[in-house]
Structure 1
Amino acid sequence: MSGLLIRDAEVDGRRCSVRVRDGLVEELGAVPARAPGEEEIDAAGGALLPGLTDHHLHLFALAAAFASVRCGPPDVRDRPALRAALHRAAPDRHGWVRGIGYAERVAGALDATGLDALRADVPVRVQHRSGALWVLNSRAAERAGLRSGRHPGIERDAAGAPTGRLWRADDWLRGRLPETAPPSLTAVGRRLAGYGITAVTDATPRLAPDAVGALAEEAGSGRLPQRLLLLGAPLSTPPSARPAPGPWKIVLADSVLPDFGGLTEEIDAAHRQGRPVAVHTVTAASLALLLAALEQTGALPGDRVEHAAVVPAEAVPVVRRLGLRVVTQPGFLADRGDAFLDGTPAHEHDGLYRCASFLRAGVPLALSSDAPYGPLDPWSVIRAATTRHVPGGRTANPAERLTAAQALTAYLSPPHAPGSPPPRLRPGSPADLLLLAVPLADALSDPSADLVRLTLIGGRILR
């Protein structure tokens, strides 16, 4: 195909035609007749937009999740269903079963003994839906060497024996599992394209060189067609590298916060390399620590707050004054908002996953999924941002609702500048595009992934 002509598309509120050639928008407006060898598509008035960006997800974890057994709502809601799901799961070629998405309301606070009661014949590891905790049954704990393990995240009982619970110990655990190649991202790329996503930011912290190489291979081969930014790329990565390095990811774990001096040193080290920071914070305490650290170090343009799950009202103007961007996930409210409302003090409810407050304060705001830990579908996240309904029927601080247009705009911002205005379609702009089946006003009235007609990345149609 020598090019693509999209007829009768809605662009910025007007109906026009768009010619795409060599990965760029070549013409826009009253485009003449189809050129020889050019494919033509009748948009029938459907909106043509820049492609969406998911500003925070975890690619290899998402690929692994596609091949794992679901262990939590909505698929699994009680102990008998969990037992059945684990027994239906076929072990991998090394004999292990991998579960994801566990929530305590299914069968309580699982440990090795509790997991043995559900399935004990093979090594089983189950990840909590937060992504912060793995639970291993006794066979898995023995295979992984928990008893002699030295990682601080290995939970132990009063006698010093491991309970089977590992907190934020992914790298340590990965080194003790049977060696496997990184999963293919083909299915992930296809799913993302189906949602209209043309760019992604992998938020996995401190990526090892082999992980960076594997992600580069997936992107370079086209198995992951989306544009790719890495928050966990080593600080030594040159800006011209592909995949491109983004802000340096720092995790402020809600269980054990780092000391203030160590945090400021890490921020300074990133800033000296010209890298902004992207800091995971899900509690008011961790946000206060981050803001205090940035007051001392000074902020660098592009510094980001990741998640911002709990933000006291008095912190919003500080975030604005420091020039920070916020990348948040209101999709968690629709997915598990009851647990957030029930598990946080009432005085913090107004601060849960703020959105509108940041926009009113002039803080650049981007939305994302945090998949596989949150819902991947951006259209469901947009709906969640506009309703703020939780599964049980309550509403989490309706004052923080966005309009559908605001929520969509927060997905349209470019990868390197989350929360900035979306790119405009004009001659010479990259042909990373999303065509909807209906005009934009109709899509905003009822956001749905079903309205995505086709996605283009670099002018190539991904169906």
Structure 2
Amino acid sequence: MTDILIRNARLVPLVADVADSPVDVLIEHGVVTEVGPAIRRPPGVEEYDAAGRWLMPGLWDTHVHLGQWTLARGRLDTSGLQSPDEAVRLVAAKVAEQPGRPVIGWGHRPGTWTREPTTTDLDDVSGVTPVVLIAGDAHHAWLNRAAQAALDLPPREGMVAETEWFAAYERLTALTDVGDDPVSYRRTLDDAAAMGVVGLVDFEFTGAVQAWRDRWTEGCDLLRVEVAVYADQLGSVLAEGLRTGDPLHPGEDRLTMGPLKVISDGSLNTATAWCQHPYVTGADPDHPAGAPNLDSAELTDLLALAHDAGLAVATHAIGDAAVDAALTAYERTGARGSVEHVQLVARDDVPRLKRLGLRASVQPHHLVDDRDLTEQIWPDRTDRCFAYRWLLDAGVTVSLGSDAPVSPLDPWLAIDAAARRTGDDRPAWHAEQAITRREALAASVGGHVAVRPGSPGDLVVLDDDPLTAVGPNVALTLVAGRVAHRG
């Protein structure tokens, strides 16, 4: 069913011209057709009484690695580890519990550890059992020698990072029987719908278009999904003539072609985010300010190729030098799309984002995770980190996401972090860059800030006012008029 009549709902005022009293909302063929009091129910249309609950456009997560998030939920949680020694004890216990079964962990953030972990640390407690501990930023992993061999990596004592790790990640499924199968994906999608999520942009490293076509027909047709592609997968997309926004199933507008994803620099935790000034501490002496993954010509050529083919481009840029280089490439090519993360930005680059019509796709909960490390390695530039106030005041279109599994796929966490700029009892971190809850909500609804005739039937009914309640309970989630979650 794509038709439903919602009665007695209070509209969340994300924009000014919103009715104060409860209204009815009629959705027909997946689109809102009428908003007002006492709407007549057409024959055969389901009726849902919101009973005074709050109604707003459904939430989007515009940066997800859905396969990794699905897998991470079944992996060993290493997020609480404070040292290599704690990690070794955890691995030893896991190996003793399930001898011979590969150990795959997720979540630790070694940037604040007082010593570098070594391969030998893991070898001493694991023997021939493969061990892969993926850091919480997804940009590097700590492996024992058995895992290095299993993933066809040259032996080494340190981490596997950046491009080498991204290439090895695809081979990781050979070590485990816990996969990203359609049943597991569907559980992940169900959980997202229960939080009011109606759509997401999937930046998973593997599979891309054909994998989504397959799983869509196997029960994963719940939410709207925009499927991104990486440069190494671009050939098949270009051969098929797919453009951003094209349906990936005939006549199905919920599964569409997304952008080309380009990872132009590294991450904070690996001290590889590319900056205009050297890190105060923690960086590789050969690259004291981090480093780009692509030189200027390579980045420009890639954006031009995508733009000429009708693909938007989502460019990962965490350091301020990476943001500057990305903007220059967009300027040279006329490419459209987004800059992903914008974790550190020069003041003068903010109006460039606006002038180029680019979207800043940001992940506010990263400021909770990265606050302490940023103070340690970038203490001279923290005022320019997660600069959401600057972006909005300049008129830049901002969209919120999670980067799950780097942060949980939970839009309410992102909204709260953007507004409060803290995740514990400490004061807001650079409160001058905070945005309001209304602004954060408006940046989380895929550009549809009002429930009005003509808007998509992608709606969420909440027990509490989301402008005041943190993490309100979701009573109903609709995607194109279909019930995706009923609380």
TM-score norm. by structure 2 comes to 0.81
The Cα RMSD (Å) is: 2.8
Residue 218 of structure 2: which of 194, 218, 221 is its match? 221
Query: Any conservation in 1 of the 2:72–2:106 contact (CA below 8 Å)?
Result: yes
Aligned to 1:299: 334
Aligned to 1:49: 56
Q: In the alignment, does 2:273 pair up with 1:277?
A: no
Aligned to 1:250: 262
Letter in 1 for 2:324: A
Letter in 2 for 1:228: V
Query: Any conservation in 2 of the 1:299–1:323 contact (CA below 8 Å)?
Result: no
Aligned length: 431
Query: Any conservation in 1 of the 2:419–2:440 contact (CA below 8 Å)?
Result: yes
1:39 Cα offset (Å): 4.0
In 2, the alpha carbon distance for the partners of 1:287 and 1:427 equals 38
Structure 1 residues 117 and 393: alpha-carbon distance in aligned structure 2, compared to 1, 3 A threshold = farther
Secondary structure at 1:125's aligned position in 2?
A: strand
Q: In the alignment, does 2:324 pair up with 1:326?
A: no
In 2, the alpha carbon distance for the partners of 1:368 and 1:171 equals 24
Aligned to 1:101: 107
In 2, the alpha carbon distance for the partners of 1:289 and 1:2 equals 44
Q: In the alignment, does 2:134 pair up with 1:127?
A: yes
Aligned to 1:357: 390
Aligned to 1:400: 433
Q: How does 1:306-317 map to 2 (within 5 A)?
A: 306-317=340-351
Q: How does 1:72-151 map to 2 (within 5 A)?
A: 72-73=79-80, 76-77=81-82, 82-83=87-88, 85-87=90-92, 89=94, 95-104=101-110, 105=112, 108-117=115-124, 119-120=126-127, 122-147=129-154
1:85 Cα offset (Å): 4.1
Query: Any conservation in 1 of the 2:208–2:228 contact (CA below 8 Å)?
Result: no
Query: Any conservation in 1 of the 2:299–2:329 contact (CA below 8 Å)?
Result: yes
Letter in 2 for 1:444: L
Aligned to 1:433: 459
1:146 Cα offset (Å): 2.4
Letter in 1 for 2:50: A
TM-score norm. by structure 1 comes to 0.84
In 2, the alpha carbon distance for the partners of 1:93 and 1:423 equals 53
Query: Any conservation in 2 of the 1:432–1:457 contact (CA below 8 Å)?
Result: yes
Q: How does 1:152-167 map to 2 (within 5 A)?
A: 162-163=156-157, 165-167=159-161
In 2, the alpha carbon distance for the partners of 1:63 and 1:375 equals 11
Deviates more, 1:192-201 or 1:226-235: 226-235
Q: In the alignment, does 2:455 pair up with 1:459?
A: no
Aligned to 1:418: none
1:176 Cα offset (Å): 6.8
Structure 1 residues 263 and 218: alpha-carbon distance in aligned structure 2, compared to 1, 3 A threshold = same
In 1, the alpha carbon distance for the partners of 2:85 and 2:219 equals 42
Query: Any conservation in 1 of the 2:196–2:460 contact (CA below 8 Å)?
Result: yes
In 2, the alpha carbon distance for the partners of 1:92 and 1:5 equals 52
Aligned to 2:252: none
Residue 379 of structure 1: which of 412, 417, 436 is its match? 412
- 5+ unaligned residues in a row in structure 2: which ranges? 12-17, 249-254, 267-271, 273-290
Letter in 1 for 2:261: K
Q: In the alignment, does 2:194 pair up with 1:172?
A: no
Structure 1 residues 226 and 87: alpha-carbon distance in aligned structure 2, compared to 1, 3 A threshold = farther
1:203 Cα offset (Å): 2.2
Secondary structure at 1:178's aligned position in 2?
A: helix
In 2, the alpha carbon distance for the partners of 1:381 and 1:118 equals 38
Secondary structure at 2:167's aligned position in 1?
A: helix
Secondary structure at 1:64's aligned position in 2?
A: helix
In 2, the alpha carbon distance for the partners of 1:253 and 1:64 equals 25
Aligned to 1:155: none
Query: Any conservation in 2 of the 1:338–1:392 contact (CA below 8 Å)?
Result: no
Letter in 1 for 2:160: L
Secondary structure at 2:478's aligned position in 1?
A: strand
In 1, the alpha carbon distance for the partners of 2:168 and 2:116 equals 22
1:173 Cα offset (Å): 4.4
Deviations along 1:119-160, one digit per CA (max 9) or x if unpaired, are: 44521101011111011112212323323xxxxxxxxxxxxx
Secondary structure at 1:376's aligned position in 2?
A: coil
In 2, the alpha carbon distance for the partners of 1:124 and 1:28 equals 56
1:241 Cα offset (Å): 3.7
Letter in 1 for 2:131: V
Secondary structure at 2:466's aligned position in 1?
A: helix
